[in-house]
Structure 1
Amino acid sequence: MPLYLYAVTDADHPLPVEGATGIGASPAPLRAVRASRVAAVVSDAPAQLRAKRRDLLAHQKVLLMLGAAGAVIPLRFGTLAPDDGTVHRALADQESLFTDRLREVEDRVEFNVKALQDEDTAVREVLRDTPEARRLSALTRDGSGTHDDQVALGTVVAAGVQALQAEYARDIAHRLEPLAHRTAAGDPTGEVFLNLSLLIERGRADVFAASVDQVAQSLGHGLELRVTGPLPPYSFV
């Protein structure tokens, strides 16, 4: 029977948890397929697999449960295998790699920090601090500017916002990265100009959260930090 895979763990990881189930409309019990040193946490795959909120949350719940009990390598939602034998061979073939990765994330959790800035606030900062932007803005406001001036204003402001947010991002990362064992940068999107994942010692999670609060409080108006975690080490395996 096809299997749905959640994670790779050490073979002696305390699982399956009694009564724990996986994804699907009628979720099957969790179980382990073991090699000598590592194991894959699996369940029977549902007949139809779709990225529904119910199943995404169920997948995450399993990972959080496993992560609370020991080192875990999270697998992507939708990872399937045809049978136990295929999973066992994959574990055996890559056992050393899996073991090294598990030791890397042992007793560590992931936090994701996103920094956002309101667009109007960013533009106002650029207009306040950039002489050329102020000059072009004045020409636009009093009607004496040309179309080229308007285009130039947009270009100067866009470059100024990008430079300003890059400076903020460097400062925030510089203040948080010393607390992390490793970091991984994600792509900015929309108002998010910093998307940073940090691998933190589990025992220092509270210290890290307090440090993020301190950084957030020091930021100016229109800037915001959003923190998610602790999470399984999605970005570091």
Structure 2
Amino acid sequence: MPLYLYAVTDADHPLPVEGATGIGASPAPLRAVRAARVAAVVSEAPAQLRAKRRDLIAHQEVLLMLGAAGAVIPLRFGTLAPDDGAVRRALADQESLFTDRLREVEDRVEFNVKALQDEDTAVREVLRDSPEARRLSALTRDGSGTHDDQVALGTVVAAGVQALQAEHARDIAHRLEPLAHRTAAGDPTGEVFLNLSLLIERGRADAFAASVDQVAQSLGHGLELRVTGPLPPYSFV
């Protein structure tokens, strides 16, 4: 019977899986497959595995439950194994690696911080600080500029916004990174110009959230921080 895998834990993790279920339209019970020093939390795999919101949430809820009870290595959604024997072999083959990773994230949680800036605000800042952008903008407004001037204005403004947001990102990261055990930078997407994951001591989670709030309040108009956490340590295993 194919198995769906949620996480790897220490063999002596409390594993509060009794009565708990996993993903799928008819969720199967959770159980543990153990090796000498580590264990994997699994359930029977659903017949059709798709990244539906229901199952993504169920997957994360299992990880949060396990993480609240001890160190956990979260596995990606959709991780499968053919049977218990395959899981045990994988655990045995990678036991040292798994135990090292578990010690790294023990009593630690992940927070993700995303920084966004309103586009109009960013453009106004560039026009305020760049004489060349102001000159080209004036030519565009009064109709005396050429098509090349319009293209140049777009290029200057885009470069200015990128440089401005890179400066903001460095400042925010500089203020938050000393609070973390480790950090991992994700790719910016769309209006998000900073995507930073931080590994935080569990006992300092509330203090970290308060520090992020202080940083957010100190930012200028049009800048926003969005914080998600505490989470399982997805970015650090």
TM-score, L = length of structure 2: 0.99
Task: Output one character per residue of 1:27-83: Cα deviation in whole Å (capped at 9) or x when no partner.
Answer: 111100000000000001111111111111100000000000000000000000000
**Displacement, 1:17?**
2.5
Task: Output one character per residue of 1:94-122: Cα deviation in whole Å (capped at 9) or x when no partner.
Answer: 00000000000000000000000011110
Aligned to 1:5, the other structure's residue is in SS state strand
Q: 2:5 touches 2:79 (CA, 8 Å); kept in 1?
A: yes
Counterparts of 1:45-194 in structure 2 under 5 Å? 45-194=45-194
Q: 2:18 touches 2:31 (CA, 8 Å); kept in 1?
A: no
Q: 1:115 touches 1:224 (CA, 8 Å); kept in 2?
A: yes
Whole-Å Cα distance in 2 between the matches of residues 189 and 2 of structure 1?
Answer: 36
RMSD: 0.6
Task: Output one character per residue of 1:151-177: Cα deviation in whole Å (capped at 9) or x when no partner.
Answer: 110000000000000000000000000
Aligned to 2:197, the other structure's residue is in SS state strand
Aligned to 2:208, the other structure's residue is in SS state helix
**Displacement, 1:3?**
0.3
Gaps of 5+ in 2: none
Whole-Å Cα distance in 2 between the matches of residues 133 and 76 of structure 1?
Answer: 46
The number of equivalent residue pairs is 237
Q: 2:108 touches 2:201 (CA, 8 Å); kept in 1?
A: yes
**Displacement, 1:15?**
1.5
Q: 2:64 touches 2:231 (CA, 8 Å); kept in 1?
A: yes
Q: 1:16 touches 1:30 (CA, 8 Å); kept in 2?
A: no
**Displacement, 1:16?**
4.0
Whole-Å Cα distance in 2 between the matches of residues 172 and 152 of structure 1?
Answer: 30
Question: What percentage of residue pairs aligned between the two structures are identical?
Answer: 96
TM-score, L = length of structure 1: 0.99
Task: Output one character per residue of 1:106-158: Cα deviation in whole Å (capped at 9) or x when no partner.
Answer: 00000000000011110010001111000000010011111111111000000
Whole-Å Cα distance in 1 between the matches of residues 172 and 63 of structure 2?
Answer: 29
- Structure 1 stretches of 4+ moved >6 Å: none
Gaps of 5+ in 1: none
- Partner in structure 2 of residue 233 of structure 1: 233
Q: 1:16 touches 1:31 (CA, 8 Å); kept in 2?
A: no
**Displacement, 1:18?**
2.4
Aligned to 2:25, the other structure's residue is in SS state coil
